[in-house]
Amino acid sequence: MTKHSIEIDFSENIEINHPKCIHGPTLLFHSSTSKFFACSACRDRQECDIFIPYEKRHEKKSKKIIEQHEKEYEKFKEYIQIVQKNRKKFNKQRDIHYCYTCSTLFSENEQSDHIDHKYTESLNRQQLRQPCQYILQPLENKRSNAQFFFSQTFIDYLINEIILKTSWDSIICIGCPTIFENLQCFNLKKKFHSYLLDYDIRFCSFYSSKQMLIYNMFNGHIFSNKKYFQEKFLSIIKNCLIIIDPPFGGFHRALSYSIDKLFQSYEINRNLILFNPYFLEKWIIDAFPNLKMLDYKIEYTSISSLNLCRGKKGSPVRMFTDICPSKFPPLDDINYKYCFECNRYTLLTNQHCFQCQSCTSKDGLPYKHCLLCQRCVKAERIHCNTCNVCHLPNQCMNKTNKRKHSLSDNRKKRRKK
Ligand SMILES: [Zn+2]
Ligand SMILES: [Zn+2]
Ligand SMILES: [Zn+2]
Ligand SMILES: [Zn+2]
Ligand SMILES: [Zn+2]
Ligand SMILES: [Zn+2]
């Protein structure tokens, strides 16, 4: 399957052979006409503009661009180390403040450095353990970095109804700091170990490298010290739950490649829960064929300019998982029903179709079965005999195409005369 007919080439070792930008190794993309290296995390060239045509990668001009980007990459890695080092100072201190302008913790005697800055004062241990809850706002300035924090109701559901009821010895949270911090504060360390993998450097002020790594989920690159993670975490765990909340615009195949790479030298049984909008289902299943979509609407707290989560249909975000759907109790007692045919809970509005043998609604609104299309379609669509698919009334794509065809046909006929 192709997404805008661009494929990603994973044949080379990306850590060694691909140029790096501030987001780590680039990916090698190819279409029928071109092959090039570009940023793994940002599709928007305004955010990260690295672009190296494959056949020109050894040319002087390309080398200069690569050099510039690799400098940025090194600077970012150095900055991570500075923040991590700074954090250690605060292990035993009492009066700890957080500066939003500098994204750093500081102590009483450093206050003069932050005089005109926006900061919050005297943080207690609880607040430091749960920075998403008490200190930080979700990032929303950039499309690739847009964060959504899960609602507390959903986090409690996930922990109490799913995580605590199954026997994973470890939970890896990728791009979902709110879930991670709640796992930490439940103080469940005896039951399982949890780790946060995230690209957001702000968390380095709150967590050590024994708790988190700076990580890009689209190339699998680890920016911070990974010794503890690999030697004391991955080499010990046996049954792991991976929870991933990727940005909506990410490359799912790249994500799937990164997850496999993370685990490649270890024998670990793993389950996956991935959050993404229902309308990306086919890309997700293409990259992760074992996943199934649950139709629970996942709520977030953030009020973002990019917030897609507040349409009339409610949140479009769903869970995709390889855990048996029957293990997921309903999110609430009002909006869900149990389908005995599917052996899972689904939205009340999602009626079971005996022809398709499943509860077929994707967006939470009613669907109906079309005998001619041989599948379920949105209830407001009508089967069109012109193009032989179901679509909204007056939205036939064939009509406009047909007119063009008949015009050119006429021209041909005229020419023949
Ligand atoms: Zn980049
Ligand atoms: Zn400051
Ligand atoms: Zn059903
Ligand atoms: Zn059907
Ligand atoms: Zn139809
Ligand atoms: Zn039509």
* Higher pLDDT among residues 162 and 124, named by residue: 162
Q: Please list all protein residues whose beta carbon sits less than 5 angstroms from ligand 4, which is an ion.
A: 353, 355-356, 369, 376
Per-position b or e across 313-328, b if 16+ CB within 10 A of its CB:
eebbbbbbbebebeeb
Q: Is the pLDDT of residue 86 over 60?
A: yes
Cα 20 to averaged position of ligand 1 atoms, centre (Å): 8
Give the strand pairing for 51-53 and 382-383: unpaired
* Higher pLDDT among residues 261 and 126, named by residue: 261
pLDDT given at position 127: 87
Q: Is the pLDDT of residue 218 over 90?
A: yes
Cα 25 to averaged position of ligand 1 atoms, centre (Å): 8
Cα 252 to averaged position of ligand 5 atoms, centre (Å): 30
d(CA 300, CA 178): 10
Domain ranges of the chain: 7-68, 124-329
pLDDT given at position 365: 87
Ligand minimally distant from the alpha carbon of residue 43: 1
Ligand minimally distant from the alpha carbon of residue 385: 6
Cα 6 to averaged position of ligand 6 atoms, centre (Å): 28
Q: Is the pLDDT of residue 358 over 80?
A: yes
pLDDT given at position 133: 85
pLDDT averaged over the chain? Answer: 87
Ligand minimally distant from the alpha carbon of residue 340: 3
Cα 297 to averaged position of ligand 4 atoms, centre (Å): 21
Q: Which CATH number fits domain 124-329: 3.40.50.150, 3.40.50.300, 3.40.50.720, 3.30.70.870?
A: 3.40.50.150
Cα 339 to averaged position of ligand 2 atoms, centre (Å): 54
Q: What is the mean pLDDT of residues 175-201?
A: 85
Ligand minimally distant from the alpha carbon of residue 400: 6
Cα 39 to averaged position of ligand 4 atoms, centre (Å): 41
| Contact by Cβ (8 Å): 104, 77 | no
Ligand minimally distant from the alpha carbon of residue 383: 5
Cα 400 to averaged position of ligand 6 atoms, centre (Å): 10
Q: What pLDDT, in 10s, does the model give residues 125-135?
A: 888 888 888 88
d(CA 6, CA 107): 50
pLDDT bracket for residue 138 (50, 70, 90): confident
pLDDT bracket for residue 311 (50, 70, 90): low
d(CA 134, CA 276): 25
Q: Is the pLDDT of residue 352 over 90?
A: yes
Cα 373 to averaged position of ligand 5 atoms, centre (Å): 4
* 189-198: long-range contacts, CB 8 A cutoff, minimum separation 24: 191/164, 192/163, 192/168, 193/169, 193/233, 193/237, 194/170, 195/170, 195/171, 195/229, 195/233, 197/172, 197/173, 197/222, 198/173, 198/174
Q: What is the mean pLDDT of residues 168-179?
A: 94
Q: What pLDDT, in 10s, does the model give residues 96-123?
A: 899 988 888 888 888 899 989 999 888 8
* Higher pLDDT among residues 86 and 188, named by residue: 86
pLDDT bracket for residue 415 (50, 70, 90): very low
Cα 68 to averaged position of ligand 2 atoms, centre (Å): 28
Sequential DSSP letters for 278-317: GGGHHHHHHH-TT-EE--PPPPB----TT--TTBTTB--E
Q: Please list all protein residues whose beta carbon sits less than 5 angstroms from ligand 6, which is an ion.
A: 384, 386-387, 396
Which has the minimum average pLDDT: 3-12, 110-119, 174-183, 394-403? Answer: 394-403
Cα 48 to averaged position of ligand 2 atoms, centre (Å): 26
Cα 368 to averaged position of ligand 5 atoms, centre (Å): 10
Which has the minimum average pLDDT: 179-188, 231-240, 322-331? Answer: 179-188
d(CA 118, CA 402): 61
Ligand minimally distant from the alpha carbon of residue 389: 5
| Contact by Cβ (8 Å): 257, 216 | no
Q: What pLDDT, in 10s, does the model give residues 46-82?
A: 889 999 999 999 999 999 999 999 999 999 999 999 9
d(CA 278, CA 143): 19
Cα 383 to averaged position of ligand 6 atoms, centre (Å): 8
* Higher pLDDT among residues 121 and 408, named by residue: 121
Cα 358 to averaged position of ligand 3 atoms, centre (Å): 4
Q: Whole-prediction pTM value?
A: 0.89
Q: What is the mean pLDDT of residues 337-360?
A: 94
Cα 385 to averaged position of ligand 5 atoms, centre (Å): 9
pLDDT given at position 141: 58
pLDDT given at position 257: 95
Cα 357 to averaged position of ligand 4 atoms, centre (Å): 7
